Structure 1
Amino acid sequence: MWVVPEKEIAGLMTLEAAFDAVESVFAAMASGDAYNFPVVREAIGHKDALYGFKGGFDSQSLSLGLKAGGYWPHNHEQGLINHQSTVFLFDPDTGRVSAAVGGNLLTALRTAAASAVSTKYLAPKGAKVLGMIGAGHQAAFQMRSALRFGQFEKVIGWNLHPEMLSRLADVAAEFGVPFQTVGLDQLGEQADVIISITSSYDPILMDAHVTGPTHIAAMGTDTQGKQELDPALVARAALFTDEVAQSLGIGEFQHAAAQKLILEDNVIALGRIINGDHPGRGDAEVTIFDGTGVGLQDLAVASAVVKLAKQQGKAIEVEI
């Protein structure tokens, strides 16, 4: 078995590699060549933690495995990030474990790549203003990926605690674009693309906030009860996601579906656009991508990292 420690990931996985891996996985899912297993995600009754498993199998790349981990909200007290995970890969021919890979940075990179892929296919033509809702650890990754693959000339941001937006201002400075703190009404009016990445259990971006052609990547909702968007906003948008069933069950669209504002048929897998099976944005004023996070994304980036780590002598071989 090969082990790739967390400390090695930053030197192996790039934004570009993560983008390519996630785009390919979405396409494979839509064509039926890859599928995700049912998600297990539970409150364990200790340290307020959420713990679970995401896994799947991709018959094209022969990636088989799972990511184990979750969210520990008090980790900052120990100087650790709240999200902790490890990806395990298995040989699909024998069932033997083939690799264990640190999953923290990989999760951040593949999540950011997913929103960037959605923006590639769904952003309104000529999108120049990026709006950010949230300023936590993941928000910086989202913004870097958006700026790397988009043509944005300005970033505007809102956060419940405005002092945290300095993190996003620093990222904007890296890319040489201006950053401005705004209210939610200004953000919804001015932004061509909006990325929401919070842990909210109440809607933040309301229907009345969003005017004009807009693409929204809703990336924070991955558990029953979480919510970032007004169901009325969801109801009037063209809807896309990584995994339809997961979106309706634990993703952003769960609330509009529960209120009978949308049906399962209203939600389209993003991979269908990538494969040319769906026109995408069309004449929709607002599009929303619900990024729930699927196990196949983790397997794709982890497989790429193992290959690079072996080539560069950064993978550790152990007997089990």
Structure 2
Amino acid sequence: MIIVPEREIADLMTRDAAFDAVEQVFAAMASRDAYNFPVVREAIGHVDALYGFKGGFDRAGMTLGLKAGGYWPNNLDQHKIINHQSTVFLFDPDTGKASAMVGGNLLTALRTAAASSVAIKHLARKDAKVIGMIGAGHQATFQLRAALEQRDFEKVIGWNFHPEMLPNIEKVATEAGLPFEAVELDGMTEADVIISITSAFAPSLMADHVAPGTHIACMGTDTRGKQEVETALLTRATVFTDEIAQSISIGEAQHAIADGSLTEQDINEIGAVINGTHPGRRAAEEITLFDGTGVGLQDLAVASAVVKLAVEKGIAIEVDF
């Protein structure tokens, strides 16, 4: 079995490699060459931690496995490690034998950013110039760096419930040579692309905060009860997602499905756009929305890519298991 420790991931996995892995697995999902297993996510009743499993099988990439991990809210304060902790396990699809164990913390941040970046590539207007960020935490910096590579953006605007955190994304904008402006939520009408990356259980982005022609990526809702945007926005938009089953159960679409303003048939797979079986954006004035719920196959795709790179570079640790 090959082990790739967390400490090695930063020198192995690039944003480009993560983008390619996620784009390919989304396409495989839409072609029914890959499927996710049901998600297990539980409060363990200890230190307020959430723990769970995401897994799947990609026949096209011959990748089988799972990601185990979750959220420990006291880690940063009490243990000086990040609150999100995860590990990816890969198995040989032909034999079932464990083939790799890979640190999953940085990979999770990179694959989440890659997912919204893939959606921007395929759904945002080609002439998009202003990108808006809702949320300014650790993951927001990954989101913004990846997104800026998809269009010739000229300005970044941002809002966060805790405005003292906005320098996190302002720094990324400055590094990219772009001006940054803190705005109120109604100022998001200036944005051509909006990324929402929060852990909110009540909507902040409303339908009247979004101008015609905008592309929105909702990347924070991955649990029952979470919500980043009001349901009226989903009914105004053409909705896409990584996986429909997760979108309607734990994703942003769960609330619109529950109140009857959206049906499962109204939601489209981003993989179908990648494959060319869905046209994607049909008009400049159309609002498109990507509900990024985070699927296990994303984790397996980037972990598999890391294992190959680790072997090529002689970094992989091999153990008899």
**TM-score, scaled relative to structure 1:** 0.98
Residue 267 of structure 1 corresponds to 267
Residue 138 of structure 1 corresponds to 139
**Partner amino acid, structure 1, of 2:202:** D
Residue 176 of structure 1 corresponds to 177
Show structure 2 runs of 5+ residues with no match: none
Residue 250 of structure 1 corresponds to 250
Residue 191 of structure 1 corresponds to 191
**Deviation digits for residues 33-57 of structure 1, max 9, x if unmatched?**
0000011111111121111100000
Moved more, 141-150 or 249-258: 141-150
Residue 228 of structure 1 corresponds to 228
Q: Distance in 1 between matches of 2:46 and 2:201?
A: 20
Q: Distance in 1 between matches of 2:81 and 2:183?
A: 30
Residue 121 of structure 1 corresponds to 122
Q: Distance in 1 between matches of 2:6 and 2:151?
A: 28
Residue 96 of structure 2 corresponds to 95
Residue 48 of structure 1 corresponds to 48
Residue 315 of structure 1 corresponds to 316
**Equivalent position SS for 2:282:** coil
Provide the aligned C-alpha RMSD in A. 0.8
Q: Distance in 2 between matches of 1:50 and 1:272?
A: 32
Is 1:30–2:30 an aligned residue pair? yes
Q: Distance in 2 between matches of 1:245 and 1:150?
A: 30
User: Is contact 2:241–2:291 with CA below 8 Å preserved after alignment?
Assistant: yes
Q: Distance in 1 between matches of 2:295 and 2:121?
A: 19
Show structure 1 runs of 5+ residues with no match: none
Residue 17 of structure 1 corresponds to 17
Residue 210 of structure 1 corresponds to 210
**Partner amino acid, structure 2, of 1:173:** T
Residue 152 of structure 2 corresponds to 151
**Partner amino acid, structure 2, of 1:156:** I
Q: Distance in 2 between matches of 1:286 and 1:149?
A: 18
User: Is contact 2:117–2:150 with CA below 8 Å preserved after alignment?
Assistant: yes
Q: Distance in 2 between matches of 1:16 and 1:214?
A: 24
Residue 291 of structure 2 corresponds to 290
**What is the Cα deviation at residue 72 of structure 1?**
1.4
Q: Distance in 2 between matches of 1:136 and 1:237?
A: 26
**Partner amino acid, structure 1, of 2:38:** P
**Equivalent position SS for 2:28:** helix
Residue 165 of structure 2 corresponds to 164
**What is the Cα deviation at residue 214 of structure 1?**
0.4
Q: Distance in 2 between matches of 1:45 and 1:190?
A: 44
**Partner amino acid, structure 2, of 1:201:** F
User: Is contact 2:126–2:151 with CA below 8 Å preserved after alignment?
Assistant: no
Residue 5 of structure 2 corresponds to 5
**What is the Cα deviation at residue 125 of structure 1?**
3.2
Q: Identical aligned pairs, as a percentage?
A: 68
Q: Distance in 1 between matches of 2:20 and 2:152?
A: 18
**What is the Cα deviation at residue 204 of structure 1?**
0.8
**TM-score, scaled relative to structure 2:** 0.98
Q: Distance in 2 between matches of 1:42 and 1:150?
A: 38
